[in-house]
Amino acid sequence: MRMVINGLISAIALSSLLASASVSQDNSNDTLFRSIYKELVEINTTESSGDTLIAANAMAKRMIDAGFPAADVQVLSSAPRKGNMVVRLRGNGAKKPMLLLAHMDVVEAKREDWAFDPFKLKESDGYFRARGALDDKAMASIFVTNLIRMRAEGLKPDRDIILALTTDEELANSPHDGARWLLENHRALIDAEFALNEGGGAKMRNGKPVSSNIQLAEKVYRSFQLEVKDPGGHSAQPRRDNAITRLAEGLVRIADYEFPARLNPVTGAYLQIITKLDAPEVRSALAALMAGDNRPEVIAPLSRRGNYNSQIRTTCVATMLEAGHAENAMAQTARATINCRLLPDENPDDVERGLKAAVKDEKIAVIPLGTIVDSPASPMSPEIIKAVEEISAELWPGIPVIPTQSGGYTDSRWLRKHGIPAYGVSGIFSEEGKSGVHGLNEQVGVKQLFEGKEYLYRLVRRLAGGG
Ligand SMILES: [Zn+2]
């Protein structure tokens, strides 16, 4: 932007020019970003054939080359082909450090399934395309480049800014999950007052920004097995209470069962924004629930809509079935898997009790599976929300910032479990369902990626304080 008044640059305009020069994308930093992004994306970091240790070393070299003291750059590995990189930009220590988290591992991608080589960064018609182009090498490369930029600018923040690039986020419950492993083994290295991570996202529709999200909570994943044991018998002399029929009837009762609805600060704020243009019956159901009235008949307009229902209660659904040993015999065993998504502050024992009560059959055993990562919602920190809202308004005026609770999980669950509030933010807008994340031909808009880079630069600077 050029601000010339009567052929002269006024003092005010000059100072704002200088200010915008220091925060806008300067060309050399964009070039550096492209090179870091390309390098990181083109290192295969899949579980089957990739190597996050190579990626960790490459990013560590970038930090050292940029002048970070070697003592502040660590590569940590919990197993072969598993690498994490941690770097610290030192502040004046007035405040506790903040953590930037991004994972370097990516979901599998088979060359024969894709329209192009998933491990070559391809730029065409306004998009970058490759596996990891968005999830999560976009934020990883942005954090690396922005930290280099801040160091070059001589930033002395009020707190240390720690960046952790990690492995195994995409693998469910991997012991090598870098966020988890660092928290359990090297807590001091990444200990922080709060963290910024993926999971927030930003939505656009037909190329226009719709919302810039801040993720503050994730539902908690827990599966159960339902099991019926029975003597079985010849199918020519059937009994109605055979294992399969009993189980099926139990499953129907679970399908009809609703866990009690309630709101937390995140879902309350989210639903208030998202239902603004919705039917009056939805608005009044929400008002009732906010006032603490969760009677099923009152809140039915919310419960009937799947996207709202998943926000207001713990949900469970049958996902797998297994039964019988022969076509001409009644089953001796019948099993079903029930997958539940718990509200962040739900007691898992209550869910088990709820399922047993729903099943109403003592012959159907309800057995919890796996371990649970209890991850409470992050507090609605006014400092962080305000910064997100203001910087979002600078870049995308009029676009709402929406607090969200995700149905799925990210590494934020480990941070929250270990007492570090995590906030999912990215500023990288993408069309819903078109990013190819975890799927084919993953892509991110070039313009949107650079905007996200600028957004995260401004946000981290604001939250880190100092100058
Ligand atoms: Zn991810």
In a shared domain, residues 294 and 183? no
**pTM for this prediction:** 0.90
In a shared domain, residues 53 and 137? yes
What is the Å distance from ligand 1's center to 160 Cα? 24
What is the Å distance from ligand 1's center to 136 Cα? 5
- The per-residue pLDDT for 26 is 62
What is the Å distance from ligand 1's center to 95 Cα? 29
Number of structural domains (the chain) is 2
In a shared domain, residues 146 and 282? no
- Is residue 430 in some structural domain? yes
- Is residue 53 in some structural domain? yes
Each residue's pLDDT tens digit, 404-443? 999 999 999 999 999 999 999 999 999 988 899 999 999 9
Task: Average the pLDDT over 259-272 and give the result.
Answer: 96
Task: Average the pLDDT over 69-91 and give the result.
Answer: 98
- The per-residue pLDDT for 463 is 98
Residue 343 has pLDDT above 90, yes or no: yes
Q: Which range marks the domain in which residue 125 is found?
A: 26-199+410-464
Ligand 1 ion: Cβ-proximal residues, 5 Å cutoff: 135-136
Each residue's pLDDT tens digit, 359-418? 999 999 999 999 899 999 999 999 999 999 999 999 999 999 999 999 999 999 999 999
Choose one of 253, 283, 306: the last residue of a domain: 306
What is the Å distance from ligand 1's center to 109 Cα? 15
- The per-residue pLDDT for 433 is 85
- Is residue 158 in some structural domain? yes
What is the Å distance from ligand 1's center to 168 Cα? 10
- The per-residue pLDDT for 21 is 42
- Is residue 47 in some structural domain? yes
Each residue's pLDDT tens digit, 198-217? 999 899 999 999 999 999 99
Each residue's pLDDT tens digit, 10-24? 444 444 444 444 444
- Is residue 57 in some structural domain? yes
Over pLDDT 90: what percentage of the chain? Answer: 91
In a shared domain, residues 268 and 193? no
- Is residue 32 in some structural domain? yes
CATH of the domain at 89: 3.40.630.10
- The per-residue pLDDT for 229 is 98
- Is residue 433 in some structural domain? yes
Each residue's pLDDT tens digit, 99-146? 999 999 999 999 999 999 999 999 999 999 999 999 999 999 999 999
What is the Å distance from ligand 1's center to 253 Cα? 35
- Is residue 373 in some structural domain? no
Encode the chain in three state secondary structure. Answer: CCCCECCECCHHHHHHHHHHHHHCCCHHHHHHHHHHHHHHHHCCCCCCCCCHHHHHHHHHHHHHHCCCCHHHEEEEEEECCEEEEEEEECCCCCCCCEEEEEECCCCCCCCCCCCCCCCCCEEECCEEECCCCCCCHHHHHHHHHHHHHHHHCCCCCCCCEEEEEECCCCCCCCCCCHHHHHHHHCHHHHCCCEEEECCCCEEEECCEEEEEEEEEEECEEEEEEEEEECCCEECCCCCCCCHHHHHHHHHHHHHHCCCCCCCCHHHHHHHHHHCCCCCHHHHHHHHHHHCCCCCHHHHHHHHCCHHHHHHHCCEEEEEEEEECCCCCEECCEEEEEEEEEECCCCCHHHHHHHHHHHHCCCCEEEEEECCCCCCCCCCCCHHHHHHHHHHHHHHCCCCCEEEEEECCCCCHHHHHHCCCCEEECCCCEEECCCCCCCCCCCEEEHHHHHHHHHHHHHHHHHHHCCC
In a shared domain, residues 69 and 156? yes
In a shared domain, residues 190 and 76? yes
